Amino acid sequence: MRKAKWVAAAAGVVMLVAGCGSEGGSDKDQGGSSSAGSTAGSSGGGSEAGGGLDGAAVTEEITAAATAAGFTEKTSDDPVPAELKNCMVSWQADADKAADPKKSFDATTAALGKGGWKEGQKVEQSGSIVMSLTKSDWTVKASRHGMSGFQMVLFVATDNGAECEALFKADLEKNKKS
């Protein structure tokens, strides 16, 4: 149960960070256009929330980009709660199995960019990098942390639409009470 709370809290942080800190107050495409049209040629493409993307489609895009770059997915002890599966994706790379986690991270984010994900804010500090990529109503927070033999690579995507925002808030409130 504690792990589910952590995932819900992480989702809340991702939602908060996703809306802060970029030029124009949003990580959405600048110039007023939506990149939803670019999803037509992408893999997957379920709709509902997310302006043309759903959790399965986002998972498929991240998986395709990361595995092509040399990552394998590391099984998480903290799965996304069932009620948030269409609003949040968490994909952790098994960085220890990658030949060069830095190059694989860079290749993954570049492949996502070629797939219509627009790069937003990027912070590099002390061997770590955290960057955001947006497509439609979704934001991926891609992070790579590496120091003294420790490597961690994580891609957490959230749907920033009103429907999912309400689900995230409800999940956070539910977990505050327990």
Model confidence over 12-35: pLDDT tens digits? Answer: 444 433 343 333 333 333 333 333
Residue 167 has pLDDT above 80, yes or no: yes
What is the rounded distance in angstroms from the CA atom of residue 123 to the CA atom of residue 142?
11
* pLDDT, greater one: 66 or 48: 66
Please give the tally of structural domains in the chain.
Answer: 1
Domain carrying residue 36: 2-177
Closest CA to 86 of 116, 44, 48, 114: 48
Q: How far is CA 131 from CA 20, 65, 120, 166, in A?
A: 12, 16, 7, 25
What is the side-by-side strand order in the sheet with 88-93?
A: 88-93, 150-159, 138-147, 128-135, 118-125
DSSP state of 50: T
Predicted confidence (pLDDT) per residue in 65-101, tens digit: 999 999 999 988 788 888 899 999 999 999 989 999 9
